[in-house]
Chain A
């Protein structure tokens, strides 16, 4: 149990660091990169949490989260490509 807890805390630290990059920016792409990273780490966190609480059902949720994260990033990129002003992507 302890090792799952440690892994979960470690993943949370990674997510916090990714959030720092998300807040710092400077361009919208850095932020999307950070969001994508937080998303994949959330997938891992859900999987580890499933083992921590001994409920392997959580793996379905992890898979779903990974899927939604991927489609979300693709959708945001499509939006950015349409809307972004090429000269000033940091304004978004």
Chain B
């Protein structure tokens, strides 16, 4: 699919909106369907579309594997960190209620941060797996 003008042009237009849609799904997890996992997948899909159309090299220049690999860990650490934080504040693991003075707020922020962690990890893992597959073919 080298130099397909139509595909290149329309992918260029679509990809930023796909990425923003992913972040919309990410942050509206408690208002509608969605959340970290879906958002991560959609975000990775946007980058994968770009990689399919423009070549993996250009995708790697924007989302370098060297950045993605720490991101995989950062997401998990964020998740675990919230759990540990709630333990330190006197609750059980992931007992969000203790994260703020008002338990409702605590739960809200806790879920938000956890979803963010899930989203970052899923997006990074999906992209790294895709890079690995594409690398094998070359």
Contacts and interface: CB of A to CB of B under 8 A. Distances in A.
Interface of A: 57-58, 60-61, 63-64, 67-68, 70-71, 74-75, 77-78, 81-82
Contacts of A70: 49
B37 to A, nearest CB: 12
Given A57-B33, A60-B34, A63-B21, A78 B45 contact: no
A14 B45 CA distance: 27
B53 A67 contact: no
B52 A74 contact: yes
Contact of A57 (B21, B32, B52, B53): B32
Contacts, number: 35
A80 B33 CA distance: 34
Interface in B47-66: 48-49, 52-53
A80 to B, nearest CB: 10
A57 B25 CA distance: 11
Contact of B7 (A74, A75, A82): A74
Interface residues of B, number: 16
B120 to A, nearest CB: 19
A48 to B, nearest CB: 16
A37 B7 CA distance: 19
Contacts of A82: 137
B18 interface: yes
Which 4 A/B pairs are nearest by Cβ-Cβ distance?
A: A57-B32, A71-B49, A71-B45, A57-B33
Given A60-B25, A75-B52, 20 more contacts: A58-B33, A60-B32, A61-B33, A63-B21, A64-B25, A64-B38, A67-B18, A67-B42, A67-B45, A68-B45, A70-B49, A71-B45, A71-B49, A71-B52, A74-B7, A74-B49, A74-B52, A78-B52, A81-B1, A82-B137
